[in-house]
Amino acid sequence: MTENDINKDYSCMDDYDPNSILPDEALRRIFDTISAITEAESVPIREALSRVLASNIISEINVPTGCNSAMDGYAINAEDLPSEGKKSLKLIGASFAGKPLSKILKKGECVRIMTGAIMPEGSDTVVMQEIVNVQGDQIEIGINTKPRSNVRQAGEDLAIGDLVLKKGIKLTPADIGLLASLGLAEVNVTRKLKVAFFSTGDELRSVGEKLDNGAIYDSNRYTLYGMLTRLGADIIDMGVVKDDRELMDKAFLEASSNADVLITSGGVSVGEADYVKETLLKRGQVAFWKVAMKPGRPLTFGKLDSTYFFGLPGNPVSVMVTFYQFVQPALKKMLGESSTMPVMMKVPCTSKLKKRPGRVEYQRGILEQDETGRMTVRKTGAQGSGILRSMGDANCFIVLTLENNGVKPGDLVDVQPFHGIV
Ligand code: AMP
Ligand code: MG
């Protein structure tokens, strides 16, 4: 859909704005502009947790290296399994994990074996100890074991030459375990992003300062701190910048010489002393958009030298919504991550949701299981863009399309669980 399409069902009851672009279009333009960083660094695998893998990992060894037992029992050759009745085998030694037996098994022989111990040469099957009768150095086995069972084959988990981990994944605990199982102490990840941010507004006070008449505490720098820390960014907190032309100019210059990305909040609403816009226009290439979304209509994106710039709205919920919908996918793309977009699923909504056509809405929801175990979603309560509690209470966004005209209890809605995007 293009900007003009938004306008097609315009009616005065609606929330359509002919100058707005759709969130998808804003994201497309952002993605068209930014490119992934190419610098990588080698870090110890524990430090690689949640970092983005910069090159493919190919296995140079078999995991496990040799065939070993999956059970405590007796290693035998499958040819010695009786086809009926019982059979007696001679015990010639024991193989422990880390202490293999060097003897070769001959016909009619068996070896006591523990889980993880290397299978002695000549054996290919383990009979569980629970189904064996032991009499001195003889054991008696029956027919209830299948040939080659209870054995882990060499390379069964990872074989030499296997593509183990693909470039662009964000490393999980399982991944760093896999790297360790390959004996790798270090791994190549893309370097961290340096992200600077500041808040704008004469009314803002930082925690620890006195709250004089008409002032409010700056919360955006703290939500930004949290969201960026979760993404593993190196953070440069530039504090509050007053609504002042020169101070703004200085802050932009400082950020552009230190950071890969600058994020500001506030000062992009229509009709205010808008130094964010003025400074950017003077210093860099910028796009100012009204995005057909709620909350978070005004959004600025641009480039100042080699620093990307996101000018987010001032309202605390708008900051978080625009961060998760635009900034986070953009930062993931810069980091070379292959999966950048939040997961979306359809779930029945148990609340009535108010919505006018004309904007995509990101209402805050609580995803939960009902008594039958089915997932449902309900709204958190008041949905104003200044009500930060609605984000704290929520565990998902309920995403309502541009055309959506309200939701009745029982209707299916699109949901982005925070788990997976945050
Ligand atoms: P603005 O876009 O600057 O007009 O800000 C919109 C609204 O968000 C105003 O009510 C501001 O007071 C509020 N706001 C702006 N920045 C912050 C901030 N850093 N923390 C909390 N509220 C803010
Ligand atoms: Mg302001």
Mapping DSSP onto H, E and C, the string for 34-66 reads CCCCCCEEEEEHHHHCCCEECCCEECCCCECCC
What confidence score (pLDDT) does residue 273 get? 59
- Measured N-to-C along each axis, helices 275-283 and 245-258 cross at an angle, to the nearest 10 degrees, of 50
| Ligand 1 in reach of 315 Cβ (< 6 A) | yes
Query: Which residue's C-alpha comes closest to atom 17 of ligand 1?
Result: 314
**C-alpha of residue 330 to centroid of ligand 2, in Å:** 25
**Looking only at Cα atoms, what is the longest distance across the chain?**
95
| Ligand 1 in reach of 273 Cβ (< 6 A) | no
**C-alpha of residue 250 to centroid of ligand 1, in Å:** 21
Q: Compute the distance between CA of residue 69 and CA of residue 99 in angstroms, rounded to an integer.
A: 13
Ligand nearest to the CA of 218: 1
Q: Which amino acid is at 314?
A: G
Contacts by 102-109 with C-beta closer than 8 Å and gap 24+?
Answer: 105/75, 105/76, 105/77, 107/77, 107/79, 107/80, 108/80, 109/76
CATH number of the domain at 3-39+191-334, please?
3.40.980.10
Mean pLDDT across 6-18: 62
Ligand 1 binding pocket mutation candidate from 197, 204, 222, 227 (most atoms within 8 A of CB): 204
Rounded to a whole number of angstroms, the distance between the first and last alpha carbons of the chain is: 28
**C-alpha of residue 210 to centroid of ligand 2, in Å:** 19
| Ligand 1 in reach of 311 Cβ (< 6 A) | no
Mean pLDDT across 203-212: 93
| Ligand 1 in reach of 267 Cβ (< 6 A) | yes
Query: Which residue's C-alpha comes closest to atom 16 of ligand 1?
Result: 314
| Ligand 1 in reach of 314 Cβ (< 6 A) | yes
Tell me the average pLDDT of the chain.
Answer: 92
Mean pLDDT across 343-361: 96
**String of b and e for 102-123 (b: at least 16 CB within 10 Å)?**
eeebeeebbbbbbebbbbbeeb
Ligand nearest to the CA of 298: 1
Residue pLDDT, tens place only, 29-60? 999 999 999 999 999 999 999 999 999 999 99
Q: Is 3.90.105.10 the CATH classification of the domain at 40-58+167-190?
A: yes
Query: Which residue's C-alpha comes closest to atom 6 of ligand 1?
Result: 314
Q: Compute the distance between CA of residue 27 and CA of residue 405 in angstroms, rounded to an integer.
A: 24
**Two structure tokens written together for 39:** 């610098």
What is the fold of 68-152? Molybdopterin biosynthesis moeA protein; domain 3 (2.170.190)
| Ligand 1 in reach of 269 Cβ (< 6 A) | yes
If one counts every other C-beta atom within 10 angstroms of the C-beta of residue 259, the result is 24
Report CA Rg, the chain: 31
| Ligand 1 in reach of 206 Cβ (< 6 A) | no
Name the H helices within 183-267: 220-230, 245-258
Q: Is 3.40.50.11900 the CATH classification of the domain at 345-420?
A: no
- pTM of the predicted protein model: 0.87
Q: Compute the distance between CA of residue 44 and CA of residue 46 in angstroms, rounded to an integer.
A: 6
Is residue 9's pLDDT more than 50? no
**C-alpha of residue 137 to centroid of ligand 1, in Å:** 82
Residue given tokens 């504090």 in the structure block: 239
Percent of the chain with pLDDT over 70: 95
What confidence score (pLDDT) does residue 272 get? 56
| Ligand 1 in reach of 316 Cβ (< 6 A) | yes
User: pLDDT band at 289, cuts 50/70/90?
Assistant: confident
What confidence score (pLDDT) does residue 421 get? 58
| Ligand 1 in reach of 199 Cβ (< 6 A) | yes
Residue of 314, 322, 202 lying closest to 269 (CA atoms): 314
Is residue 172's pLDDT more than 90? yes
Query: Which DSSP category does 240 fall into?
Result: E
Task: Evaluate the CA torsion angle 18, 275, 295, 331 in order and state its sign.
Answer: positive
Mean pLDDT across 77-102: 95
| Ligand 1 in reach of 387 Cβ (< 6 A) | no
| Ligand 1 in reach of 263 Cβ (< 6 A) | no
| Ligand 1 in reach of 265 Cβ (< 6 A) | yes
Task: Please give the angle made by the CA atoms of 239, 418 and 206, to the nearest 5 degrees.
Answer: 15
DSSP run (H or E) holding 75: strand 73-76
Is residue 16's pLDDT more than 90? no
Mean pLDDT across 395-412: 97
**C-alpha of residue 145 to centroid of ligand 1, in Å:** 71
Ligand nearest to the CA of 265: 1
Residue 318 Cα: closest atom of ligand 1: 8
Domain borders along the chain are 3-39+191-334, 40-58+167-190, 68-152, 345-420
Residue 240 Cα: closest atom of ligand 1: 19
| Ligand 1 in reach of 203 Cβ (< 6 A) | yes
Ligand 1 binding pocket mutation candidate from 199, 241, 265 (most atoms within 8 A of CB): 265
Q: Note the residue count of the chain.
A: 422
Residue 200 Cα: closest atom of ligand 1: 16
**Two structure tokens written together for 258:** 């230190």
| Ligand 1 in reach of 201 Cβ (< 6 A) | yes
**String of b and e for 25-58 (b: at least 16 CB within 10 Å)?**
bbbeebeeebeebeebeebebeebeebbbbeebe
